[in-house]
Structure 1
Amino acid sequence: MPVAAPHSLRLLLAAAGLALACGQPARGQAAADPAESVVRTHVPSAMDAELFYQVLIGEMELRQGQAGVAYEVMLDAAQKTRDEALFRRAVEIALQARAGDQALAATQAWRMAVPASAEAHRLTAQVLVGLNRSAEALDPLRGFLAATPAAERPAAIGLLPRLFGRAGDRKTLASVVEQVLQPYAAQDATRVPVLLTNARMRWLAQEPQRALELAQEAARLEPAAEGPVLLALEMLPGEPRAEALVRSYLDRKADAAAVRLAYVRALFTSQRYAEAVSQLEQATQADPKAAPMWLTLGALRLELKQPREAERALLRYVELASASAGAPAEGSTQAEPASEEGSGPAPATAEALRQASAEGLTQAYLLLAQAAEAQRNYRQAEQWLAKIDNAESALSVQLRRAMLLAKQGKVQEARELLRRTPERTPQDARAKLMAESQLMRELKLWAEAHAVLSEANRRYPDDADLLYEQAMMSEKLGRLEEMERLLRRVIQIKPDHFHAYNALGYTLADRNERLEEARTLVLKALELAPNEPFIIDSLGWVEYRLGRREEALKHLQRAFEARPDAEIAAHLGEVLWMLGRREEARRVWREGRERDATNEVLRETLSRLKVDL
């Protein structure tokens, strides 16, 4: 950032004197620039007129793009008055101009002028860290905590990791913070915050073992505290050992709804759906009126191909959401802002509640239609769809309606229904093609699905997701060279598309071809998505094809525990069968068949091995 020369500053001050001679605006006259109102808000009442106009000119120069001039004018005013608002403004100007050295100079001047200012010390440390001078942040951080009132110090200590989340040299910074916090490590009020802050800093510094040890020590000292558990949740799935801390806490506190829901989100992200369902069931038992938990439970049940259980959870959600629409949830202790008449929630709040309820109900009706469809109750599915009056969900509704028609043998009518659906946005045309291909795929009309996707890829070239879908249809049609070409194009366009690596690796392994290359591809997919059950299944299948049955068993058991899918059951059962564990294999296959009796991989496996369940 350019800095104004002293001569320029003198000219500006002279201009300020001219403004003084002209006098102030008459009463009721609007200020010429909004900056004046900013200045009036932040300057001390004791500021004389000359200094007032100096600050005003600084704001005007900033608006005209003269950041260097504005910075010098504002810092000069701050040093004359020792006013913290003006020091803060000088720092802001420097930071907006990406002038780190000037920002540091302003914070240091602020510290000298107002030694008791916690904010001055904190900002100095932040600027130093931003300039990759973390080692120099030691004294400002000590000053920050020393200037913070004792009652507020635990919160200030807990704030430190958030202040430095984007630091470059995090290992150095973690050591600096540890030194700063040492005097507070033995004090009752700050002992646990110190442990948690050091744990977070070590986690940011990519020292997971040390971070977990500190979090565990904090949990031991204060078993009821949520902080150690929330940190452990943040560490998942990168540090699986942290999960024991979470589970131990939830075993002790069955009513810890917020922590349990956070754990459910972590399990869902890792696609450990069965475990997420178990946690949600405990949460709904502890708080049966928590509507969102029922909706999530229903969606997960449906994902696990448990339509009856999904339906029960979703109906409970509809009951709760319908009852609370337009009114605060029963038992709520948080008062809503009153309207002018003093009766009920303010209109904006009530509208937000109604909108959230309507969106949730739309999702529930779609899921209920899907659950009814899975149970071949097509009439009930249509009744649920008829309840949806939401233009933004029109395509999703029409897709489900098309699926209902197709499953009743009206395939062409189903396709026409999708094609006639209005396109509200430019993305809707692409979404309609994807929906039609999905319809054909679910009906196992591979050639028709491939044709739709070919047209989609002509209209939207180099769309990684469309290319991937076409590759999957190419595989179904036995066009393996085309499939591989398309998948390699996907990887070229989007190198982090883990599905493409996995699909190519699994296909090679399933055909017992180029097994080492298949393993490399699957491992790359697993590196990009470490807890994806179907990729873990692929790795197990590759190991099985390579003759490493025990290694294969380990991976397949892990995949099946996370996602008891029929195809994973087919693979796991085959490995158990070949290891001589026949009854275990039959049990796994039966469980897979209960979830999806039509799964082709499972049926082919049982036929090939001549197994009668």
Structure 2
Amino acid sequence: MSPCHRQVDMMKFPRRNFALALIPLLAACAHAPQQVAATTPTPASRASLDQIVETPKLALPKVAMTDNMLYEFLLGDIAAQRNQPKLAAQAYLDLAKTTRDPRVARRAAQLAYESRDYDTAVESFKLWEELEPASPLAKQLYLSLLLSGGKLQEARPLLDEVLRADPASAGRTFTSTYPMAAHGTQDKSAILAWTIAVTHPYPDVAEGHWAVAQAAAAAGKQDLALAEIHRAVTLRPDWDVAAVFEAQLYLNSEPQKGLDLLKKFLDAHPENRELRLYYARALLNQKQFAAARDEFQRLLDDRPDSPDLAFAVALISMQMGEYDRAEKELQQALNKGGRDESTVHYYLAQLNEARKDDAAALEHYRLVKEGEYGYAARLREVALLDKAGKLDEALDALHRAVAKNDEQRVQLIMIDAQLLRENKKYETSYQVLAEGLKKFPENPDLLYQTAMAADKLDKVELFEKLIRKLMKISPDNAHAYNALGYSLLDRKVRIKEAMKLVEKAYQLEPDDAAITDSMGWGYYLMGNLDESLKFLNRAFAANPDPEIAAHLGEVMWMHGDKAGARKIWTDSAKANPDSEALKAVMKRFIP
């Protein structure tokens, strides 16, 4: 059987990259220092809204109550009580327009916010700001509403007023308004131009340069972003937000420079734990494992009861191959509690696998309960039991695995079939796949594996039926064309049709060694030995598989290079003493 006909090995699971696995595990405790809280596209926070309904002393209009006004009051209040905020907001907005009373306008603005009707909210906040022009709150809330809605030009004069009214708070204003503008507008170039314009009159405000740097980075203007954030750091050298953003800009292009900037700031502010966590993660991302571990260890020394930090140190030690140290650190993390015990047992199992102690690994995998790592642990348990030749125990462990989705359910079926096939239980393996196919009749992987199992049992018509169904479902599946094409070649029937199928597969995946082998074998059967050798040599160079070696040796022999054929077969047989393909071809040519 050609390598193109081999079933996928579902038992080969790669070892985890322990350091990369660590990154999401630390997400909850290792963020960059907060820059500015993300601003949602709403005009105000809940606390600010409560202030809207306060009633300071105002010059109120003298308006006589009319039946229509009373109706609007009642309509608005009843609608609000009955959870109809849009109707309530519109009623109070109409009433505010009629009475010109700022108290009513405030109430309209509050209700409009709660209704989440943007157009009504804009109109209500605009009216409130107009009727109470001395209110900073009215201006700020109206400004935030315009920015969150992407109305940059309408917001500009209002922002200028806010800045002129309180220039000492310009920095706070810039750090709060830029995120709203960025959230509300998709045009990054427009945001950048707007941010430059509004911050230009305040050249000594670090937050203004920070805002421009943010906008420039978003617009892809790296040089401008670097220049602006450096100015911000110069103006406020103790501001960790600016220092971190400057480092972030370098981490992608000049990572070491970014790391150096973070370290420099940390050296000046060693008490900044949040920044140290960020620095540790940055080192981890750059695969500077020893330095990253040192930083996590410093944090752990300050917080010796933290299971997450202990776990982080352990995983880095695993990544560095220091398994004895990692085992002690994982045991410490286990003893501290907090971290899910199953997670720690899973990594202890991985550690023991890495140092070739399968028995210890198996013991820890069995301690992993169902959860995040339960499924993966069961599969590793199956693989280790299969490796030890304990088929029944492996199948039992497999049947205890709990799949979370259809993809995993299909995977379990195929692993079940693989275990049986590898133990030469071909008919039972086929039955497992056939039963699985009844549950997932359109699954391409299951169709392919079932077809291959049918071919192994010489169920030729069923094999072709399943493969053609797969071609229909997945018309770009190169292995489907190759499987049918090679099957025809192997049986030496419908050779021209077989070559068309193999050529189709080759067009889809010209670098696949198994398909290249099929091309070479097809040319051999058609009598074109030179072309056959070209393809078979390329296939063997890409993958020195014993079945490809069997084909290559046969064609070399027929081409007159008997010594070369003997060497290919002999060398391959030494490396693959159980290869049936090699045994068969050598028996035919070297009795």
Instruction: Provide the aligned C-alpha RMSD in A.
Output: 5.2
**Alpha-carbon contact 2:96-2:108 (below 8 Å) kept:** yes
Tell me the equivalent position of 1:111.
129
Letter in 2 for 1:159: S
CA distance in 2, matches of 1:233, 1:456: 53
Letter in 2 for 1:431: Q
* 1:93-128 per-position Cα deviation (integer Å, ceiling 9, x unaligned): 56x23x43x333222222222334444334434444
Between structure 1 and structure 2, the one with the greater Rg is 2
* 1:385-413 per-position Cα deviation (integer Å, ceiling 9, x unaligned): 45555666543443343233223221342
Tell me the equivalent position of 1:180.
198
CA distance in 2, matches of 1:235, 1:260: 18
Residues 45, 225 of structure 1: CA spacing in aligned structure 2 closer, same or farther, 3 A cutoff? closer
**Alpha-carbon contact 1:137-1:176 (below 8 Å) kept:** no
Q: 2:266 aligns with which of 240, 247, 253?
A: 253
Aligned: 1:212 with 2:233: no
Q: How far is 1:441 from its partner?
A: 8.9
Tell me the equivalent position of 1:295.
311
Residues 392, 218 of structure 1: CA spacing in aligned structure 2 closer, same or farther, 3 A cutoff? closer
* 1:57-99 per-position Cα deviation (integer Å, ceiling 9, x unaligned): 35258618647744634744994143675253244156x23x4
**Alpha-carbon contact 1:174-1:198 (below 8 Å) kept:** yes
Aligned: 1:377 with 2:357: yes
**Alpha-carbon contact 2:195-2:212 (below 8 Å) kept:** yes
**Alpha-carbon contact 1:74-1:86 (below 8 Å) kept:** no
Letter in 2 for 1:215: I
CA distance in 2, matches of 1:297, 1:448: 46
Letter in 2 for 1:275: Q
TM-score by length of 1: 0.53
Identity among equivalent positions (%) equals: 18
Structure 1: runs of 5 or more not aligned = 1-38, 323-356, 491-503, 515-544, 546-599, 601-613
**Alpha-carbon contact 2:86-2:112 (below 8 Å) kept:** no
Tell me the equivalent position of 1:420.
400
Residues 457, 308 of structure 1: CA spacing in aligned structure 2 closer, same or farther, 3 A cutoff? farther
**Alpha-carbon contact 1:440-1:446 (below 8 Å) kept:** no
Secondary structure of the structure 2 residue equivalent to 1:184: coil
CA distance in 1, matches of 2:276, 2:423: 42
**Alpha-carbon contact 1:107-1:120 (below 8 Å) kept:** yes
Residues 43, 373 of structure 1: CA spacing in aligned structure 2 closer, same or farther, 3 A cutoff? same
**Alpha-carbon contact 1:158-1:193 (below 8 Å) kept:** yes
Letter in 2 for 1:154: G
Tell me the equivalent position of 1:405.
385
Residues 401, 248 of structure 1: CA spacing in aligned structure 2 closer, same or farther, 3 A cutoff? same
* 1:159-179 per-position Cα deviation (integer Å, ceiling 9, x unaligned): 223212331223222222222
Q: How far is 1:292 from its partner?
A: 1.8
Q: 2:189 aligns with which of 158, 171, 180?
A: 171
Residues 396, 123 of structure 1: CA spacing in aligned structure 2 closer, same or farther, 3 A cutoff? same
Letter in 2 for 1:171: S
Letter in 2 for 1:177: T
CA distance in 1, matches of 2:423, 2:181: 53
Q: How far is 1:199 from its partner?
A: 0.9
Tell me the equivalent position of 1:24.
none
* 1:230-276 per-position Cα deviation (integer Å, ceiling 9, x unaligned): 32465577x424762343222452545423433555576x6x5x335
CA distance in 1, matches of 2:97, 2:475: 62
Alignment of 1:341-380 (within 5 A): 357=338, 359-380=339-360
CA distance in 1, matches of 2:223, 2:373: 46
CA distance in 2, matches of 1:214, 1:56: 51
Q: How far is 1:295 from its partner?
A: 1.9
Q: How far is 1:510 from its partner?
A: 7.3
Tell me the equivalent position of 1:347.
none
**Alpha-carbon contact 2:296-2:309 (below 8 Å) kept:** yes
Q: 1:281 aligns with which of 286, 289, 294?
A: 294
Residues 447, 361 of structure 1: CA spacing in aligned structure 2 closer, same or farther, 3 A cutoff? same
Alignment coverage as a number of residue pairs: 408
**Alpha-carbon contact 2:213-2:226 (below 8 Å) kept:** yes
Letter in 1 for 2:291: S
**Alpha-carbon contact 1:418-1:432 (below 8 Å) kept:** no
Aligned: 1:434 with 2:448: no
* 1:161-214 per-position Cα deviation (integer Å, ceiling 9, x unaligned): 32123312232222222222233322xxxx222221111122233323211222
* 1:478-522 per-position Cα deviation (integer Å, ceiling 9, x unaligned): xxx999x969569xxxxxxxxxxxxx99975575999xxxxxxxx
**Alpha-carbon contact 1:181-1:194 (below 8 Å) kept:** yes
Residues 511, 163 of structure 1: CA spacing in aligned structure 2 closer, same or farther, 3 A cutoff? same
Tell me the equivalent position of 1:339.
none
Letter in 2 for 1:145: L
Letter in 2 for 1:206: G
Residues 421, 170 of structure 1: CA spacing in aligned structure 2 closer, same or farther, 3 A cutoff? closer
Structure 2: runs of 5 or more not aligned = 1-48, 457-467, 479-505, 517-537, 539-575, 577-591
Tell me the equivalent position of 1:56.
77
* Farther off after superposition, 70-79 or 411-420: 70-79
CA distance in 1, matches of 2:390, 2:80: 70
Secondary structure of the structure 1 residue equivalent to 2:186: coil
Q: How far is 1:414 from its partner?
A: 1.1
**Alpha-carbon contact 2:126-2:142 (below 8 Å) kept:** yes
Tell me the equivalent position of 1:124.
142
Residues 162, 383 of structure 1: CA spacing in aligned structure 2 closer, same or farther, 3 A cutoff? same
* Farther off after superposition, 364-373 or 277-286: 277-286
Tell me the equivalent position of 1:605.
none
Secondary structure of the structure 2 residue equivalent to 1:159: helix
Q: How far is 1:435 from its partner?
A: 5.5
Q: 1:193 aligns with which of 207, 219, 241?
A: 207
Aligned: 1:315 with 2:295: no
Residues 215, 78 of structure 1: CA spacing in aligned structure 2 closer, same or farther, 3 A cutoff? farther
Tell me the equivalent position of 2:18.
none
Letter in 2 for 1:163: M
CA distance in 2, matches of 1:278, 1:437: 43
Residues 120, 177 of structure 1: CA spacing in aligned structure 2 closer, same or farther, 3 A cutoff? farther
Aligned: 1:88 with 2:109: yes
Q: How far is 1:158 from its partner?
A: 1.4
Residues 363, 506 of structure 1: CA spacing in aligned structure 2 closer, same or farther, 3 A cutoff? farther
Alignment of 1:262-277 (within 5 A): 262-263=278-279, 265=281, 272=286, 274-275=287-288
Residues 242, 108 of structure 1: CA spacing in aligned structure 2 closer, same or farther, 3 A cutoff? farther
**Alpha-carbon contact 1:142-1:180 (below 8 Å) kept:** yes
Residues 149, 220 of structure 1: CA spacing in aligned structure 2 closer, same or farther, 3 A cutoff? closer
CA distance in 1, matches of 2:102, 2:291: 62
Tell me the equivalent position of 2:525.
none
Secondary structure of the structure 2 residue equivalent to 1:165: helix
Q: 1:142 aligns with which of 154, 157, 160?
A: 160
Residues 194, 282 of structure 1: CA spacing in aligned structure 2 closer, same or farther, 3 A cutoff? same
Q: 1:161 aligns with which of 178, 181, 194?
A: 178
Secondary structure of the structure 1 residue equivalent to 2:356: coil
* 1:558-597 per-position Cα deviation (integer Å, ceiling 9, x unaligned): xxxxxxxxxxxxxxxxxxxxxxxxxxxxxxxxxxxxxxxx
Letter in 2 for 1:419: H
* 1:113-161 per-position Cα deviation (integer Å, ceiling 9, x unaligned): 23344443344344444555423321122233345583x5433321223
Letter in 1 for 2:133: P
CA distance in 2, matches of 1:105, 1:300: 56
